[in-house]
Chains A and B, each alone.
Chain A
Amino acid sequence: MIRIDHLTMKFGKFTAAADISLSLARGESLALWGSNGAGKTTIIRCVLGLLSFQGTIRVGGRDVARDGKRARSLIGYVPQELAFYDDLRVWEAITLFARLKNVARVDLDATLDHVGIPDQGGKRIRELSGGMKQRLALAIALLGDPPLLVLDEVTASLDVCGRAELVALLGRLSGQGRSLLFASHRADEVTSLAQRVLMLEKGKVTAEVPVSQFVARLGAGSVLHLHMPAPSRPVAIQLLRDHGFAPTLNGVGILVPVPATQKAVPLRLLAEARLSVDDFELLSPRDANLSQENHA
């Protein structure tokens, strides 16, 4: 679906992406993982043909640089935050993009239902909440049922609740034979949506791994030692595994390797699942090993 060969993109002296190659098969889902400034957004904008770059990018076999319009007709794009003429009404925005995307017929109500904002067709875009705007952006991206969805930190400006709902919605959508390319710096999103992860740092690829190895690769961070009642531990371990972590049991609790930026995520996940955590401590990997050995 996407094939990037030797993409290099510079803003003046600053290299935003350095010799990046990747490919994404039909129906596959790839995460661009990295902190801010790692080059995720740059790659996405290059894929959309919005920036001029060195190397080649093909989407569905179409060269983005030369045939951008046709390449983009295969892509549904959702930005971090929908910035669009907010004086437009929702139905007008849908009409506008349906026309631009050559969509012959759109069932307005079904479209809005699909992304979970029914009955909002008459509102102006500026009257929508952040979550609704992102859903509208998603609805627009889905017009014409494009084979590839490109998402750029779509949950970044949402609150916890909105984020979870949107991720769930995206999870449902990605299962329908669509390819998915998305940028995120949240491990839970990556683990719940991606099959493969491209890990980026300062514009360079540091690793390309299947999602199963993703959390382990993050281990360079630290280890969260959770103290919780024994009965809930197996459930907790299953839950954390589901979200891409690699928890292990020890005598008094659970050890979870966490990346540097995600140290509280397991706590949140457990809290949301109403599993009580009595106490926690943060260990360096070495200390964690010691503690493991002690218990052994």
Chain B
Amino acid sequence: MSAAAIPSCQIIEAHAPTLISNILTLAWRELRDALRARSFLLYSLAFLALGLGVSYVSAAGTGSLGLSGFGRTTAGLINIVLLVVPLMALTTGASAIASDRERGMLLFLLAQPVSRLEVVLGKFLGLSGALIACITLGLGACSLVLAWQGGATEPRTMLWLAGLSVLLALSMLSVGMLISALARKASVAVGTGVFLWLALVFVTDLGLMAGTLALRLPVKTLFLLTLSNPLQAFKMWALHSIDASIDVLGPAGLYAMDTYHDALPWMFGASMAAWIVLPLVAAALIFRTRSPV
């Protein structure tokens, strides 16, 4: 928007400052900023590039044979989502409140007739919008590449993947905002976000691996521990939605199929919903009592 885009019309209309309208207003500003932020652009490009790479490379393998089903493409895309989306969402969330606080913007914002709940929800909503844009753009482009390559991926798979990626992004955003509400400095918040990302992506899984090998964890424990990690819940839900089964995940997957049957998608959903709602509620409660400076 250049200076010339300033309208000759000078009248600005606004709505009643209900909870919803304030949230929308704040979300709009957050979204506007996020979509222009350099870091966000970088993440989007990285996601796009990796996704396109996976789509391009793996479509070449199966396309010629006309095989469909769970293949390397889907596995690769799940991998990319698991790697990029949590990082993007965690760091975005972590800087959301802390950097405003650090720069004194929060003070000015909270001196206006807005409640803190509105600020938290507005930020969450706006950043969600930005993350959704990034994910749908990335996976949409991947679908186009796959279609062009004649790849063996069903549209349904891509839609599920996109929807579940959004849920994953929301849960990580929520955790990021909790970090942000707690942290005093933006740099500390983002650092904590990155650390948590490492933990969720690598450390917990490696720990589970070691635990399984060393302690001979029973399948039930292994499954429930895995389920409690939102990344793994996303992964299992994605597999389940594509294949109607997670038996591809070996004995623990079979155990889950046999034990929980139709309840499985609900369990995945519950795990992810908990990861979205609980940190956000905690963030809102903490933010309510914290000084804005």
Contacts and interface: CB of A to CB of B under 8 A. Distances in A.
A292 to B, nearest CB: 48
B108 A79 contact: yes
A105 B29 CA distance: 19
A108 B28 CA distance: 20
Given A101-B112, A106-B11, A106-B12, A79 B107 contact: yes
Contacts of A241: none
Interface in A40-97: 45, 48-52, 68-70, 72-73, 75, 77, 79, 81-85, 87-89, 91-92, 94-97
A159 interface: no
B40 to A, nearest CB: 13
Interface of B: 1-7, 10-17, 21-22, 25-26, 28-29, 32-33, 36, 103-105, 107-115, 289, 291-293
A105 B113 CA distance: 17
Interface string A98-123: 11111111111110000000000111
Given A69-B114, A89-B3, 20 more contacts: A49-B110, A51-B291, A52-B289, A73-B17, A79-B104, A82-B108, A87-B33, A96-B25, A97-B112, A99-B21, A100-B22, A100-B114, A101-B14, A102-B14, A103-B14, A104-B13, A106-B11, A108-B11, A110-B10, A121-B6
Nearest to B122: A100
5 contacts: A91-B12, A95-B12, A100-B22, A100-B113, A109-B10
A101 B25 contact: no
Interface string A2-14: 0000000000000
B115 A69 contact: yes
A100 B113 CA distance: 7
B11 A72 contact: no
B169 to A, nearest CB: 23
Interface of A: 45, 48-52, 68-70, 72-73, 75, 77, 79, 81-85, 87-89, 91-92, 94-110, 121-123, 137
A105 B11 CA distance: 6
Nearest to A82: B108
Given A98-B14, A105-B12, A83 B108 contact: yes
Nearest to A123: B3
A101 B113 contact: yes
Given A97-B112, A99-B15, A102-B14, A50 B292 contact: yes
A100 B14 CA distance: 8
